[in-house]
A and B are shown apart, each in its own frame.
Chain A
Amino acid sequence: MADNVYDAIVIGSGISGGWAAKELTEKGLKTIMLERGMNIEHVKDYESPNKNPWDFPHRGGRTQKMIEDYPVLKRDYPLNETNLNWWVNEKESPYVEVKRFDWYRGYHVGGRSLMWGRQSYRWSDLDFEGNVKDGVAIDWPIRYKDIAPWYSYAEKFAGISGNKDGLDVLPDGDFMPPMDMNVVEKDVSARIKQLYGGKRHFIIGRTANITVPHNGRVNCQYQNKCWLGCNFGAYFSTQSATLPAAVKTGNLTVRPWSIVTKIIYDKDTKKAKGVEILDAQNNQTYEYFAKVIFVNASALNSAWVLMNSATDVWEGGLGSSSGELGHNVMDHHLGVGASGRVEGFEDKYYFGRRANGLYVPRFQNVGDDKRDYLRGFGYQGGASRQGWSRNIAEMNIGSELKDQLSEPGSWSMGLGGFGEILPYHENKITLDKEKKDKWGLPVLAFDVEIKENEVKMRKDMAEEAKAMLEAAGVKDVFTYDREYGFGQGIHEMGTARMGKDPKTSVLNANNQVWDALNVFVTDGACMTSAACVNPSLTYMALTARASDFAVNELKKGNL
C-alpha cells in the first residue's frame, strides 16, 4: 500500500473524530486522522494541571494584550491565561461577521474534547419528533430507538456518571455512579419535586467524568480543573479515551498540522477518492486516498470542507445540491437565569471541587404544558457557599475584613438556562471570497441570529428560574440576561443536516452525504434540530453508529 493510501480518512480529532478513528481502526480499517493544528500528547503536553492559583502571574485573568489578540474569545469566559494556547489564534484564522457570531475554536489534536463542558444527555423522541410535529424545517430520519443502543455503547466506553432518574424527557443511560448533590441541593431538589407534583426535577448533572476507574483511567479527583487537561484521564477526551484505543489497534496514523482543503471527488464513480491537505507548517500540498472519509472538523469547518470540495460539479460544493449546505446554523442560547441566597445550613459545607452541577430537564411544552413559544430549555445550576470575593458592603478594611473573608459566606443557589434554537434556513454560513486566512484559504462569513421564538423563551427562562427558586425558599432572587452572542453556547450545529430526502438535506439517515455515499459527516453539522441538551453524547453515538454502518457497507462492497 502506498504511504498515502488508507482504508479510511478521518478529518478532525475532536470528540466525533476521535470516535470515528476508534471505531474504524477497531473494525480493522487502516485509518489516518488529519488534524489541522498541533499535537497535544496526553499528560505530557498538559501545561497547567499541576499549577496552583498563585503560579499564574495574573491569577488566571486576562491581560490587555490578550484582549487585543483575541477579539472573539474575549467575549466570554474562554479568554484566560490558564489554557490560552488551546484556543485558536484569531489573527491566523479570522472570519467575517455579517452579524455577530462568537466562534470558540480549538485547533489541535483532541480539539475541544480537551476543553468541553462534559455534560452528557440523551435525546428523547420529544426531540427527534419535534420538527415534524411543529412543522418546522424537516423531519429527522431517525428516532430514539435507532440511536438508543449506540447511546449505551458510547456511554459505556466514554464513562458517563449520572443517576437513573426515570424521566421520559431525559432517558436514563448506562451510567457510572452519580456524583453527589450537596446538602442544599438535595433540600431544594426535594422541595421542587413536591411543589410541582413530580413534573419538575432537579437532578445531578450527567457528566463525562468517571467516578470509578475505567480502562486504565483514574476516577475523578474533584480538582475541577478539567479544562487544563487531566493527568488522571478522569474526563472523556480524545487523548484520554478514544485515541489510546485507536492507537492500540496498530491501525491508526495521526497527522497534525494537516488542513484539509478539499475532498477529492470522482465524477465517474460519484464517490470521494481522498482528500487534499495543506501542511500548516511547510505550506506544501499533499493527497491522501481512502475508501471511506469521515468529516469531523466541527460543524462549521466540516461545512467549510464540503463547500470547498467538488466545486466543478456543484458550485456550492459537495452536498450543496439540496441548497441546505451551510444553512440552518444552530447553537444553544444561554446567559439567562436567576440566583439567590439560601438561608440556613450554616453548619454545612462541602469538601472537594465537583466539576459538575445540577441539571433541570426541560419541562416546557412537555405533556400538557404549553408555552407561547416552541420547544424549551433546561437549566444547569447548583448551590455553593460564597467565597472571599463576595461583596460585604458594610465591611471596611483591616483585620475584621480579613477574618470575615477568610470564612465562607452564606449559601447561594443559581440556575442558568440552555435553550433550543430552531433551525432557520436563512441562518447561514458562506465562503467569503475576499478575506483569507494565514494560509490564503477563504474564510467563513456568518449571517446568523436568534429570532422571536428564542427571545420569548429567554424571558421565560429568567421568570421560571426565579419562580422555582423562590418557591423552594431561596431569598433575594434576582434574574439576569447577559446579551447572548450566537455561538456562545459552543454547540454549533446544523450546517449539513440529516434528512429523508436529498432535495432538502445534505446527509441521509446513516450520515452519508447524499452526493457521495462514502463521505460521512457525524459532528454537529449533521443535526436536523438542536434539542436543548448538551449535544456531544449524541455525536458520539451517531459516529459509532455511522462507523458501524460504513464498515458493513464496505464489507458488502457497497462503498
Chain B
Amino acid sequence: MNRREALTRVAWIMGGTVIGANLFLEGCTRPASKDVESLFKEEQIDYLGDIAETILPKTSSPGAKEAGVGAFIPVMVRDCYTTEDQKIFLEGLSKLEETSKSKFSKTFQELSPEERTSLLTEIDKEAKDYAKNKKEGEPNHYFSMIKQLTLLGFFTSELGATKALRYVKIPGRYDGNFPYKKGDKAWAT
C-alpha cells in the first residue's frame, strides 16, 4: 500500500508477540553454537519438517515438509534469533521429546500422524495459555516460535505461495471490486 506497510511485513506478529527479530532491541552477533549448527544436519531437517508437517499438513495442497520448512527453520534460528531465543528454541525441542516419551513412550518421529497431532495440539494449548499470562519482556514459549516459523516458512515458500495461496507475479492491473466466494484462496502477497 505504501512504504509503511513494509513495517508490518517485517514485524510479523502472531499472538501479540514478535519473535526472533527483536525489532527495537540490540542484537548480538556470534558464531552459531554447535547446537544451532546441528539443526542443519539432514536428520534434524527431516525432524523439523515432520513437526512443521503436523502443524500444516498436506491437504489438497502440499504440506509444510514438502515445502521445505524443515530446512527453513534452522536458517531463521541461526541468523535471526538472539542467543536467548536460540536457547529457548533448542531446549524446547528437548522438552517436546520428553513430553512425547512420557505420554507415548516413543520419540516424536516414532509417533503415528494422529499421535503427533494429539501431542502438538496439547503443546499448542500450553503455549497459548503461557502467552496469555506472559508479562511483557518475558520469553516466548518455544512452540510459539516453531509455529510462527512454520507459518512464515510455508506461506512464503514457492509451494505454499502458489498452491496453498494464489500468487501472481506481475498483476498488471488493479481491480478493487474483485469477486470472492468462500473457498477461493488468498493472495500470497
Contact = CB atoms under 8 A, between A and B. Distances in A.
Given A68-B28, A396-B121, A348 B164 contact: no
Nearest to A186: B176
B1 A62 contact: no
Contacts, number: 219
A185 B176 contact: yes
Interface stretch (B3-11, B40-48, B87-95, B98-106): B3-11
A99 interface: no
A67 B121 CA distance: 34
Interface string A61-72: 111110110010
A388 B155 contact: yes
B173 interface: yes
B189 A77 contact: no
A382 B180 contact: no
Given A77-B10, A183-B176, A397 B121 contact: yes
A353 B76 CA distance: 27
Interface in B143-189: 147, 151-153, 155-158, 161, 164-165, 167-189
Contact of A351 (B27, B161, B171): B171
Contacts of B171: 221-223, 351-353
Interface stretch (A51-59, A129-137, A449-457, A525-533): A51-59
Interface in A68-115: 68, 71, 74-80, 115
Given A52-B161, A62-B21, A356-B2, A77 B7 contact: yes
Nearest to B82: A64
A244 interface: no
A355 interface: yes
Interface in B126-142: 128
A347 to B, nearest CB: 6
A353 B189 contact: yes
A224 B6 CA distance: 10
A320 B22 CA distance: 42
A402 B15 contact: no
B27 to A, nearest CB: 4
B178 A351 contact: yes
Contacts of B15: 391, 393
Contact of A77 (B4, B26, B164): B4
Contacts of B14: 389, 391
A449 B178 CA distance: 45
B170 A223 contact: yes
A416 interface: yes
Contacts of B151: 388-389, 405
A227 B6 contact: yes
Nearest to A392: B14
A354 interface: yes
B155 to A, nearest CB: 4
B175 A64 contact: no
A398 interface: yes
B61 interface: yes
Nearest to B75: A57
Interface string B40-81: 000000000000001111010101000000000001100111
B180 A402 contact: no
A500 to B, nearest CB: 35
A113 to B, nearest CB: 13
Contact of B54 (A59, A387, A397): A397
Contacts of A380: 2, 4
A165 interface: no
Nearest to B132: A393
Contact of B3 (A52, A61, A117): A117
B57 A399 contact: yes
Interface in A163-219: 179-183, 185-186, 205
Q: Determine which residue in A57, A351, A416 has the highest number of CB atoms from chain B within 10 A of its CB, and name it.
A: A351
Contacts of B21: 61-64, 67
A385 B173 CA distance: 18
A179 B179 contact: no
A393 to B, nearest CB: 8
Nearest to A485: B24
Given A77-B3, A348-B178, A397-B124, A388 B26 contact: no
A262 to B, nearest CB: 34
B27 A64 contact: yes
A407 B177 contact: no
Contacts of A403: 59
Contacts of A118: 2
A119 interface: yes
B24 A75 contact: yes
A357 interface: yes
Contacts of B56: 397, 401-402
Q: Determine which residue in B9, B121, B153 has the highest number of CB atoms from chain A within 10 A of its CB, and name it.
A: B9
A227 B170 CA distance: 15
Q: Determine which residue in B24, B25, B117 has the highest number of CB atoms from chain A within 10 A of its CB, and name it.
A: B24
A406 B3 CA distance: 25
A65 B55 contact: no
A238 interface: no
Nearest to A409: B186
Contacts of A180: 174-176
B125 A222 contact: no
B176 A355 contact: no
Interface in A24-72: 52-54, 57-65, 67-68, 71
A346 interface: yes
Which 7 pairs across A and B sit closest by C-beta, in order of nearness? A182-B176, A67-B27, A352-B171, A352-B174, A77-B7, A349-B180, A64-B27
23 contacts: A53-B156, A57-B75, A58-B75, A61-B10, A62-B80, A64-B27, A64-B80, A115-B3, A181-B176, A223-B169, A223-B171, A334-B4, A353-B187, A355-B1, A387-B186, A396-B124, A396-B125, A397-B117, A397-B147, A398-B55, A402-B164, A406-B185, A408-B187
Given A52-B158, A61-B76, A67-B25, 16 more contacts: A65-B29, A65-B79, A68-B27, A117-B2, A183-B177, A221-B172, A353-B171, A353-B187, A389-B13, A397-B55, A397-B121, A401-B55, A402-B164, A407-B183, A408-B180, A416-B4
